[in-house]
Structure 1
Amino acid sequence: MASNSIKLSSFLLLIIFVCSNSELSQPKETKMAFYFQDYSGGPNATVIEITGQPNGLLSFTKFGAIFCTDDPITEGFDESSAQIARAQGLYVTSALDGSNTHVLISIVFTNNEYRGSTLEVQGTSAQFERVREVAVVGGTGIFRLARGYATFETLHYDHALHYAVIQCNVTVYHY
């Protein structure tokens, strides 16, 4: 009889624990849009080729080219818009014909709402497509255990300044 009451008590405690933590088991959905301010040349370049070109020109389509980035991310299209994060990571031209890059980027938030949180983006990006999609494979802080996807679309490119504005739309589920 005592054994049954211990089992019943344990079962009831388990039910109470599961019910009290039900909020933790339900992921939140967050959707965001922001803009990478990308300079691939000049004195304030935010993208550099690690593998190096003697003439200083970046070769985004050369198989095996590796790039490091630290782009400011703004809440609006204009580069003078409020900065909310940095895109820090690597790109590797991973297709023999130069059509794909492998993206490994941490979106490191600096704004008050998400300060210190990150989203980890990884995947193959078809660099000549209008819209490219990669996976969000993790996150920290507010975005702990994030899963989802991000799309990138180059909205503006100034060849003379080596300056691009890339819109990033993110949809993630996190706890």
Structure 2
Amino acid sequence: MALTSMLKFTNRSLLFVLVLSVTTFSGIASSSKELKETHMSMYLQDFIAGPNVTDIPVAGVAGKLWLFNQFGTVYVTDNPITIGPSSNSASMGRAQGVFVSSALDGLSGLVLFSVGFTNKEYNGSTLEIQGNSKILEPVRELSVVSGTGKFRFARGYATCETYSVDIPIGYSVIRFNVTVEHR
């Protein structure tokens, strides 16, 4: 008899805790802000040679050339981001980070960078982008893992495609299409 009474008390207690939990979590969920979705296209201006270099190798395998496709080479980057493909287009900000040639065959690398916005609409905000970039793929996809300012709590993805390459002067343009959800 005592065991039956104890089980009824325990079941009632569990039911009470369950109802309280559901009520609490639904209150939290309903008070949270709706996520916004933002789509952007931007162009990364990449200079690996000349007076305005924006990518430089800082580490690599001793005795080997430090090239973007040489396993173990680490580059730091500080590339202008523009609204259009021309280097004279209006500035949106800068992409600052690292590229590590992380595949033995040299065909892909780890990309980690912050897009710091300076344009009027997103000034002071950032997006953090990372992922594996397969160098020869026509479209590469990277993760947007966080953000600040207008992109607080951002998550999403960025596709990047080589828009143009000028090998003799060491200049290329990469088009980024970014889709993010944020607060």
TM-score (norm 1): 0.84
- Give the equivalent residue in structure 2 for 1:141: 149
Residues in 2 aligned to 1:87 and 1:137: alpha-carbon distance in whole angstroms: 15
| Cα distance in 1 for residues equivalent to 2:52 and 2:143 | 29
**In the aligned structure 2, how far is the partner of 1:97 from the partner of 1:169?**
27
Greater Rg over alpha carbons, structure: 2
Of 36, 46, 60 in structure 2, the residue corresponding to residue 28 of structure 1 is 36
What's the counterpart of residue 127 of structure 1?
A: 135
Displacement after TM superposition at 1:30 (Å):
0.3
Residue in structure 2 matched with residue 173 of structure 1 by the alignment: 181
Cα 1:20–1:53 shift into 2, 3 Å: closer
CA gap of 1:174–1:123, structure 2 versus 1, over 3 A, is same
In structure 2, C-alpha distance between the alignment counterparts of 1:89 and 1:43, rounded to whole Å:
20
Cα shift at 1:171: 0.3
Decide whether the 8 Å contact of 2:59 with 2:66 is kept in 1: no
Among candidates 145, 149, 152, match of residue 160 of structure 2: 152
For residues 144 and 43 of structure 1, do their structure 2 counterparts lie closer, same or farther at Cα, with a shift above 3 Å needed?
same
Between the aligned partners of 1:149 and 1:20, the Cα distance in structure 2 is 26
RMSD: 2.5
Query: How far apart, in 1, do the equivalents of 2:105 and 2:172 lie?
Result: 23
Q: Does the aligned pair in 2 maintain the 1:120–1:137 contact within 8 Å?
A: yes
Unaligned runs of 5+ in 1: 1-13
* 2:88 corresponds to: 80
> How many angstroms apart in 1 are the aligned matches of 2:47 and 2:156?
27
Identity %: 52
Give the secondary structure class of the aligned counterpart of 1:136: strand
**Number of equivalences:** 161
Shift of 1:100: 0.8
CA deviations 1:72-116 (Å, max 9, x no partner) are 000011111100110000000000000111000100000111011
What is the identity, as a one-letter code, of the residue corresponding to 1:110? T
Partner of 2:8: none
Q: Which position in structure 1 is the counterpart of 2:73?
A: 65
Question: Secondary structure of 1:70's match?
Answer: strand
Gap runs ≥5 in structure 2: 1-23
Secondary structure of the corresponding residue to residue 89 of structure 1: strand
Shift of 1:52: 6.3
Q: 1:19 to 1:118 in 2, by over 3 A?
A: closer
Please point out which of 85, 94, 97 is paired with 1:89. Answer: 97
AA at the equivalent of 1:32: M
Deviation at 1:21, TM superposition (A): 3.1
Q: When you count helix as a share of all residues, which structure comes out higher?
A: 2
1:103 is matched with: 111
Moved >4 Å (runs of 4+): 17-20
Partner of 1:118: 126
